[in-house]
Chains A and B, each alone.
Chain A
């Protein structure tokens, strides 16, 4: 079956530093990937749609300069949280559409803690 891998699974960083999270589709190609953030006991909030070879599409209220998304290949999308602050601490999850079947496969998520 389809597998989406995220790395790192957890990261702790100091305020002001940047953190990169990778999302890889391991056994399929994904022209589109999606990034979400999830606060404890809350729902997943769609942040942006990552498009291979073009700019990401951000949802309203999401800062493009804060959350940089790069989709350089058909199997890799990266989310960089720039100049991270404690309020950026969250669970970040990516997903990809396997084989165009409208079924999203999610990564295991990356828990970011900013001190």
Chain B
């Protein structure tokens, strides 16, 4: 039930953009995105709900294709603070039982 993320890792220079993809084989109620820095807890970035509702931070955007069970996270004008591992979490029922993706390690360099 674990969703698959791509790419596994990406290195960016400050100011560059990145897209992280998340794909599930199951029908989804929602997709959640989190960022985790080494040794720390995951931090909520965004949730995309079936039907089009979104909740998240201003500087981060994402899309959710319900038919394909795919979501993409768009990081624009990257900053050094964006570095970390990004996980998508998929919820099939609306009960917040999240199955987390394989993770994408993002490194932003000066």
Interface residues, chain A, CB within 8 Å of chain B?
Answer: 32, 34, 36, 42-46, 49, 93, 97, 101-109
Establish whether residues B97 and A105, one from each chain, have CB atoms under 8 Å apart when the complex forms: no
- A78 and B49 CA atoms in complex are apart in Å by 30
Given contacts A93-B41, A103-B44, A106-B42, contact A44 B96 (CB under 8 A): no
Tell which of A32, A43, A46, A101 touches B87, judged by Cβ atoms closer than 8 Å. Answer: A43
Instruction: List 6 A-B pairs, minimum CB-CB distance, nearest first.
Output: A106-B41, A44-B100, A43-B100, A108-B41, A106-B42, A43-B103
Q: Are A104 and B41 in contact (CB under 8 A)?
A: no
- B96-A34 in contact (CB<8A): yes
Contact A104 B100 (CB under 8 A): no
**Cβ-closest chain B residue relative to A43:** B100
- Residues on the A chain within 8 Å of B62, using CB: none
Q: Which of B42, B49, B87, B101 is the most central at the interface, judged by chain A CB atoms within 10 Å of its CB?
A: B42
Pair B96/A43 contact, Cβ less than 8 Å: no
B100: chain A residues at CB < 8 Å are 36, 43-46
Closest to A107 in B: B41
Interface centre among B32, B41, B98 (most CB of A within 10 A): B41
Q: From A32, A46, A97, A107, name the one whose CB has the most chain B CB atoms within 10 angstroms.
A: A46
Q: Complex formed: what's the CA distance from A104 to B41 in Å? A: 11
A108 touching B40, Cβ below 8 Å: yes
- Contact among A46, A105, A108 for B98, CB-based, below 8 A: A46
Asked if residues B97 and A109 are in contact (CB atoms below 8 Å), the reply is no
Contacts of A102 in B (CB 8 A): 30, 32, 47, 49, 55, 91, 94, 96
By the criterion CB–CB under 8 Å, are A43 and B42 in contact? no
- Check B98–A34 contact: CB distance below 8 A: yes
Report which of A36, A93, A97, A107 forms a contact with B96, defined as CB distance below 8 A.
A97
> Among the listed B2, B49, B55, B98, which residue makes an inter-chain contact with A104, where contact means beta carbons less than 8 Å apart?
B98
